[in-house]
Structure 1
Amino acid sequence: MKAHPMVGDSLLAGLLAVFDLLIFVTRVQAENNAAPPPQPWFVTVPIILGVVVPLVFRRKYPVLAAYTTLFVGIPHSALELGLSSLFASCIMLYTLVAYVGRKPALLYALANAVISGIQIPLQYDSTEARVVPLIVVALLLGLCWALGEFVGARRAYQAEVEQRLALLEVERDHQARMAVAAERARIARELHDVVAHAVSVIVVQADGAAYAVHTQPELAERAVKTISSIGREALTELRRLLGVLRSEEAGGELTPQPGTQSLSELAERVRAVGLPVRLEIVGNVDDLPAGVGLGIYRIVQEALTNSLKHAGQGTKAVVRVERTGDRVDLDITDDGRQTAHSLVGVSGGNGLIGMRERALVFGGSLDAGPRPGGGWRVRARLPLATE
């Protein structure tokens, strides 16, 4: 019914119409032999329908439906065709209070009071007979007003909650985009340092080759080969750099960043702050491109930092770095309980967002999640660029 409110309103209108028609048929049968029916069918049925049909459209056109019911209800009550005009008017008052506002509802209630105050004395002779209908009408209208106030307040509260939830979702998405942008800017600055360092080495080697080209040709040849190797590596890093959104603040010293050679120092530092780490390196990872080495270092650093913060006391971690062919696989696991715990001593980035962005920069992938037997696992695969 909530998804299709007109269906429920149609059933309500149908019940009121059937109720009035049954009253009319009963009266006709009772007076069939004594006198002609008090009203013919072609008068009674349109009036009954005119009272109840607006109920179907009360949510879509509340004001029009309310006053249609009110004015058609005048002949309906005068001909004593049933109680559907009273019930329909009360439902319309509730609708105006809940869906439109207090001012239109107050005007409608006053119109009902005026019509009832004029019509009821005309229909009843004695004072006692007039008082009861007036009291019943006043009580029903008051009850419907109170019900409309309650439902209207709940609808307003629900609308406010939905609006706040929508704003929170927008804010969450905005924060996520900001985190991604900040991490990409950080990665871009680090790659900038790698490329700048390579260019500095090239300049030094080129100057040395220029001085030794005539007196020491072998030394000059080695310098040129070094320039070629470092230049190729710098081009690879530069291509990656162009794919990263970089902030305008490109600070940083022209020195190489940590790489796979620094993983042992990282493991020692993590052990010093309370997390036993076993480091396993399979294959030769010392000659990796500087950018790839930096990415490996940062992913391992971030994963161990998360273990320090969330795994709890007594946790052990295993870091496995394996180079196979043209890729490097990372596997960082811990056996923690994922409880709230925070230690200081290892710097980190933006959690899973940062690790995933670092893997994507090099065309790789990263998965993170709980282990079936307990603990947490981070797995990354970084392809190596070939020239």
Structure 2
Amino acid sequence: MRAHPVFGDSLIAGALLLFDLPLIFTHGTAVPDPVVVLVGLLMVVPVVFRRRYPLGSSYVILFGGVLQLATHGDIDSGIPIRPADFVLAVTLYTVVAFEGRRQGLIYLGFLALGTLIWSLWVMGPRTETVFAVFFVVLFFAFSWALGEFVGARRAYHSELEQRLKLLETERDQQARIAVGEERSRIARELHDVVAHAVSVMVVQADGAGYAIKTNPELAEAAMRTISDSGRQALTELRRLLGVLRSSDQSSTQWAPQPGALDLAELAENCRAAGLPVTLEMSGDFSALPAGLGLGIYRIVQEALTNTLKHAGTGASSLVRVARAGEQVALEVVDDGYGTPHDLVAVSGGNGLIGMRERAGVLGGTLEAGPNPGGGWRVRAVLPFAPT
């Protein structure tokens, strides 16, 4: 009946009609049978459509009650009350439950006016009138209360459905945001890995090309550096792409993310690539949070990569990393004279954007710009706990 409300309402209408039919054949009054039948149909048939058209069906039933009151609703006709009249209480419940309190009050006003006319005109001032009106008012009050209860439940369920839809929408939006953030993170990781490795390989390949005839040993060392850098980059790429492609995490080759303690190896790789790097570290870096250690490593890696790409021949770099209290300050300074770094900054390359994003995610600040003494300077301050 909940899935097919018309079926349930048809059963209600059929039951009322079953009780009202004998009246057509046994009323024994001067009222014509077609009038009695018409009133019965007007008051019973619209019940079938009361959920689909609450106001329309209710006022058709109300019109049937008015027609009954005008034709055979008095004591002289012998039909002051008929079984179909109980439909009026059903329609009051329907209006309150489906259309709200305002429409219910309007409909109740018409019912109260009809009840008043019926009690004064049909019944007259007698004891039976008091009891009849009392029971009519009791039925209407019960219908109103039931309509309020069901209407409140309908409104509550409707609000719950809206909230569930809103939560589903928010969940989908959060999932899309999370996917976008993860893509950005992976893009930064890929950029850091590929840019650094390729920069080292390009520099070493150029050096090997110049030295292959005059200094074969130097060319051989450069080729070994190219090979090592390529293998390291391939390992990082396999790890990142394995996370993207594999739905089974057990089959993914996991490797620890680099941290602040790996800066010495990074500096050594840059020296092997032909960039003199001086590394100065002060403080205890053994207990850094994993995210903070990775951020320090990637910022220094990107800054040294930019030095390799843009500082020019003969440039050197100084890396200072110091832990002071609950924050870490790092600085990468070079004395290059090659491609102006400010052009790189203005162009909005992924390297500088990635460094700023990493510092912002960690709750820190990053400054990048020309060094007053020449060259380029990157400075970042990263707290232990982002605010």
Q: Tell me the TM-score normalised to structure 1 length.
A: 0.56
Residues 155 and 345 (structure 1), Cα distance of their counterparts in 2 relative to 1, 3 Å cut: farther
Aligned-CA RMSD value? 3.6
Unaligned runs of 5+ in 2: 256-286, 292-387
2:201: which partner in 1?
A: 202
Structure 2 partner of 1:98: 97
Partner in structure 2 of residue 15 of structure 1 = 15
1:63 is aligned to 55
What is the Cα deviation at residue 9 of structure 1? Answer: 0.9
1:290 aligns with 236
Out of 32, 56, 73, the residue aligned to residue 65 of structure 2 is 73
Shift of 1:211: 3.2
Deviates more, 1:87-96 or 1:72-81: 72-81
Relative to 1, partners in 2 of residues 1:193 and 1:51: Cα closer, same or farther, differing over 3 Å?
same
In the TM superposition, residue 49 of structure 1 has moved relative to its aligned partner by 0.8
Deviation for aligned residue 1:46: 2.1
Structural mapping, 1:232-381, within 5 Å: 289-293=235-239, 347=290
Corresponding residue number in structure 2 for 1:382? none
- 1:295 offset after TM fit, Å? 5.9
**Bigger Rg over Cα:** 2
Contact conserved, 2:89 with 2:140, CA < 8 A, in 1? yes
Matches within 5 A, 1:92-241: 92-217=91-216, 219-220=218-219, 223=222
* Unaligned segments of structure 1, at least 5 residues: 32-36, 235-255, 258-287, 304-319, 321-327, 333-343, 349-387
Go from structure 1 to structure 2 and tell me whether the alpha carbon gap of 1:66 and 1:230 turns closer, same or farther (over 3 Å shift).
Answer: same
TM-score normalised to the size of structure 2? Answer: 0.56
Could you tell me which residue of structure 2 aligns to residue 49 of structure 1? 41
Shift of 1:345: 7.9
Secondary structure, counterpart of 2:169 in structure 1: helix
What percent identity do the matched residue pairs reach? 46
- Once the two structures are superposed, residues 63-82 of structure 1 have per-residue CA deviations (whole angstroms, 9 ceiling, x without a partner) of 22112111211333515285
TM superposition shift of 1:95: 1.0
The code of the aligned residue for 2:235 comes to P
| Aligned AA (2:12) | L
Matched AA of 1:13: A
Quote the Cα distance in structure 2 between the aligned partners of 1:330 and 1:211: 38
Q: Deviations over 1:175-215 (max 9, x none)?
A: 22222221121111111111111222123213322431331
Matching residue of 1:323:
none
Report the counterpart of residue 360 of structure 1 in structure 2: none
Amino acid at match of 1:186: R
SS of alignment partner, residue 289 of structure 1: helix
Q: Deviations over 1:315-374 (max 9, x none)?
A: xxxxx8xxxxxxx76599xxxxxxxxxxx98748xxxxxxxxxxxxxxxxxxxxxxxxxx
For residues 198 and 184 of structure 1, do their structure 2 counterparts lie closer, same or farther at Cα, with a shift above 3 Å needed?
same
Say if 2:24 and 2:37, in contact at 8 Å, map to a contact too.
no
Residue of structure 2 in register with 1:6 after alignment: 6
**Does the CA contact (< 8 Å) of 1:52 and 1:88 recur in 2?**
yes
How far residue 117 of structure 1 moved from its aligned partner, in angstroms, is 1.2
* CA shift for structure 1 position 296: 6.6
User: 1:50 touches 1:69 (CA, 8 Å); kept in 2?
Assistant: yes
The one-letter code sitting in structure 2 at the alignment partner of 1:2 is R
Evaluate the alpha carbon distance shift between residue 87 and residue 166 of structure 1 in structure 2; reply closer, same or farther with a 3 A threshold. Answer: same
- 1:131, 1:151 → 2: CA distance? 30
